[in-house]
Structure 1
C-alpha cells in the first residue's frame, strides 16, 4: 500500500468570489491527475477563506474596551484583538505577543486563526488586511465535494486544514478544521494487535495525520501549493465533521 500526495500545479492566487471547485478541477487537469473514487483533496484554509471573502481591513474595525485591555497585555494591535474576540468563545491565555483562545468552532489556537501572511486586499495598505477562518469549514468542504461530484460523478473526500501550534512542543503542524467524506477519527478499539491483544484505547486522528502530511507538501511561505491530491489513504472514506476530532471540554485535562 502506498500513500501518494501530489501538490496541484498552476494554482492561481485566489480572490473573493472565485469558483474554487472549478479552479481545483482545472488544476487537477493541469497536474495530469484523473481523480478516482476514494481520492481526497486537502486544501489550505487560506484559499477557502479568500474565495469566501473572509478578508477584513483593520481600518474598518473599532476595538472594544476588552480589546484595548488585551492590547496593553499582549502589545498586539487592538483592532486585531477585537477580531480575535469576535471569532472566539473564550480567551484562555495571554502574554507578550501571544493570545490563545477557544475558537468559536471549538478548537484551541493562537489568534483565532486570523492570519496576516500571504494576504492582500483590493484597497488600502497591505499590512492592514487580515484573513479570518471560513465561517463554517465543514460546510465549505461539503460544497466543494458536491460540486466536484456534480462535475465528475466521482466520490472524493475534502479536507480543509490550517497550521496550529501544539502544547508542550515547538513548531506548527497542519491540522484539520473542516472535512467532508474523510474520517476524523478511526476507532481501533477491539482490533487485535500482532500478538492477538485487543486494543482498548487506540483511536487514530486520521484526518490530522493526513493534514500534517499534506502541510509538508504545501509549505508555509512562498511555495504557492495550497491544494494537494491524495491517493491511497489507508482508511475507508465516510462522512464526518470537525466535532469528531475536538475533545470535549470535560475530558480536556490540559486546559
Structure 2
C-alpha cells in the first residue's frame, strides 16, 4: 500500500469571504483530484475565510471560547471548548495573523468540512473526503501534532474490535483514529511555516464514504464528559475536589462501585465504611474530614438525609 500527501505552494493570504475551494483548485493545478482522495485544510484558513479573526489577544477571548478549565500550569491554560476539544488556550491562535489579532476556531468544523466537500463534488465531480485540522499537544508526550477537528465523507475511526490478528488473538479495543493520522500525515507535507494550508492525501479511498454520506464527523472522536480518565489536570483535580461543587463532579467520571469506594477509603485514609444499601455508605462521625473530598472525586456526595449526625455521615452516588 502507498499513501501520499501533497501540499501545493502558492496559496495567497486568506481573508474573510474568500472561496477556499477556488483557492485549493487553483493551487493543485493540473494534478487535480481523484475519487477517494482526502482533502486536508487547516482550521486557520477555514476560520479566516469564515470571518473568525478577532481583534485582541488570545487571553482576551479565552473565557468566551471556554466551556471549562481542564488544567493550569503557569501561563498555560488547557480548556475544553464548545466543540468538546481539549486544547491549550481553546485553540485560539495568534500566529500568521496581523499583530493585535487572533484567530478563533471555526464555529462548527464538521459543518465547514461538509460545505467544502459538497462544493468540491459540485465543481469537480469527484467524491472526496475532507478533514479540517488543528495543532494540539498530547498528554504524556512532548511536542505537538495535527489532529482532525472537522471531517466530512470519511470514516474517522476504524474498528477492529472482535477481529483476529495473524496469531489468532482477538482484538479488543483497537480503533485507529484514522482522521487524526491523516491530519498528521498532511502536516508533514504542509509544514508549519510553509504557507501551504491545503493538502491532498491519496491512497486510502477505502475510508471515503459515498457522496450522500458525510459520516459522523470529527465530533465522533471526542469523548463525552466523564468518559476520559484525565478529565482534570492533577492540580486542578485537587482544587475541584476540595471545592465540592456538584457541577464539577462530571469530569471525574461515573460514580465508582460501592466496593471500590470502600477500598479507596481504607487505603487512602484508613476509614472503614459501612454499606447501608447499594447506593448509600455510612462513615463514623469522627472519620477523617478528607473523606468527603475523596468521596467527591469518586462520584459520591454527602447524602441529603444523613440520619443521626452525632453517629454517622452518609454518602450516596451522584447523578449526572
Partner residue in 2 for 1:233: 204
The one of the two structures with greater contact order (alpha-carbon pairs below 8 A, sep at least 6) is 1
Partner residue in 1 for 2:25: 25
Partner residue in 2 for 1:73: none
Q: For 2:143 and 2:216, locate their aligned partners in 1 and report how far apart those are by CA, in whole Å.
A: 27
**Per-residue Cα deviation, 1:18-43 (whole angstroms, up to 9, x for no partner):** 011111111121xx312111101111
Q: For 2:150 and 2:4, locate their aligned partners in 1 and report how far apart those are by CA, in whole Å.
A: 21
CA RMSD of aligned residues (A): 1.3
Among candidates 23, 45, 48, match of residue 47 of structure 1: 45
1:242 aligns with 2:218: yes
TM-score of the superposed pair, with normalisation by structure 2? 0.68
Among candidates 52, 63, 87, match of residue 85 of structure 1: 63
Q: Secondary structure at the match of 2:226?
A: helix
**Cα offset for 1:234?**
6.4
**Per-residue Cα deviation, 1:75-111 (whole angstroms, up to 9, x for no partner):** xxxx633411111110121232111100110011000
Partner residue in 1 for 2:140: 168
Runs of at least 4 residues of structure 1 off by over 6 A?
A: none
1:218 aligns with 2:221: no
Q: For 1:250 and 1:97, locate their aligned partners in 2 and report how far apart those are by CA, in whole Å.
A: 26
Q: For 1:240 and 1:211, locate their aligned partners in 2 and report how far apart those are by CA, in whole Å.
A: 17
**Cα offset for 1:225?**
1.1
Partner residue in 1 for 2:252: none
Q: Superposition pairs for residues 182-221 of structure 1, below 5 Å?
A: 182-220=154-192
TM-score of the superposed pair, with normalisation by structure 1? 0.85
Partner residue in 1 for 2:2: 2
Q: Secondary structure at the match of 1:165?
A: strand
Q: For 2:168 and 2:63, locate their aligned partners in 1 and report how far apart those are by CA, in whole Å.
A: 50
Partner residue in 1 for 2:113: 141
**Per-residue Cα deviation, 1:200-230 (whole angstroms, up to 9, x for no partner):** 211111111111111111112x211111111
Q: For 2:178 and 2:205, locate their aligned partners in 1 and report how far apart those are by CA, in whole Å.
A: 9
* Structure 2 gap ranges (5+): 210-214, 232-320
